[in-house]
Amino acid sequence: DGLAQTAGILNKFGARSAASGNTAVLTATADATSVNGSHTLHVDQLAKQDTLTTKKFTDSATDVITAEGAGTKTIRIAVDGTNYDINVSLTGGDTNKTILTNLAAAINADASASAKVTASVIQVDSTSSKLVLRSDQTGLDHVMTLTNVTGTLFTTTDLRDSAAADDATNRGGFIYADSALDAKFVLDGLSLTRASNTVSDALTGVTLNLLAAQNGADPSLTLTVGPDKTAIKTSVVTMMKICMFD
């Protein structure tokens, strides 16, 4: 046990750190393969999840069932190169809120689809709601595509991937344009794009955690990679105590 403890302490003498000049914008960690150095970084945009919304519906009204008709409707959600077909049952007299709720429940109950997307019904105000569909992962690589297979439920609810949502005209659609889905940052003068806000392939041995976007006029922050002096100091003190009491 003593040898194992000593070995563990000695390993910490090689501990590395990555110190951010603005931890509200970026935090980072470094492993043993990282290289000493100072870097500049500016976060232009955070990665986001593709998000689609229906238009706003009055909860107690029956617009959807009147337009769509009763029966089983099949919708298709395509994400990450795979199609997920989901059946939704509509019953005569269903209110808009009931149909939105059942649509969200059907999507979330599908074991395969729910591993990729999440549907929620949002109460916009005391009498109206929207359904919101979100990809579970950030980035353009995980954008969703919607298709009506039987029936026109996506069309009737105005849940679509081809146009931007607009509250002013009560139009459903996407919340973020494709160009807004990937993280964008400038590292040492190079403009980079990644699908995630956790970036482990830009600097060898360093993982960047992008936390907030900066304004264009904001100065770049400094990222310093080097020995983890705090961990090393702690290891020295621990080693001295072991030697003193051996």
At 49-66, the pLDDT tens digits run 999 999 999 999 999 999
Predicted TM-score (pTM) of the model is 0.85
pLDDT along the chain (246 residues), means of 10: 45 75 97 95 98 98 97 98 97 98 98 97 98 98 98 98 97 98 98 98 97 96 85 48 52
Q: Where are the alpha helices (DSSP H) in 87-182?
A: 96-109, 153-157
pLDDT of residue 246: 55
> To 5 degrees, how large is the angle CA 46–CA 55–CA 77?
65
d(CA 125, CA 56): 10
Give the list of residues 6+ apart from residue 42 with CB closer than 8 angstroms, or none.
185, 186, 214, 218, 219, 220, 221
Q: At what angle do helices 229-245 and 2-11 cross, to 10 degrees?
A: 150
In our burial notation (b when 16+ CB lie closer than 10 A, e otherwise), range 23-38 reads: eebbbbebeeebeeee
pLDDT of residue 75: 98
pLDDT of residue 9: 43
What is the Cα Rg of the chain in Å?
26
pLDDT of residue 11: 47
Closest CA to 71 of 150, 160, 147, 148: 150
pLDDT of residue 161: 97
pLDDT of residue 186: 98
Phi, psi (rounded to 5 degrees) for 145: -125, 135
- Count, residues in the chain: 246
**Single-letter amino acid code for the residue at 25:** V
Give the list of residues 6+ apart from residue 23 with CB closer than 8 angstroms, or none.
211
**Single-letter amino acid code for the residue at 79:** V
pLDDT of residue 165: 98
d(CA 47, CA 41): 16
Using CA atoms, how far residue 50 sits from 6, 53, 85, 150, 213, in Å, is: 49, 10, 19, 24, 18
pLDDT of residue 22: 97
Question: Any idea which residue has 């009204």 for tokens?
Answer: 61
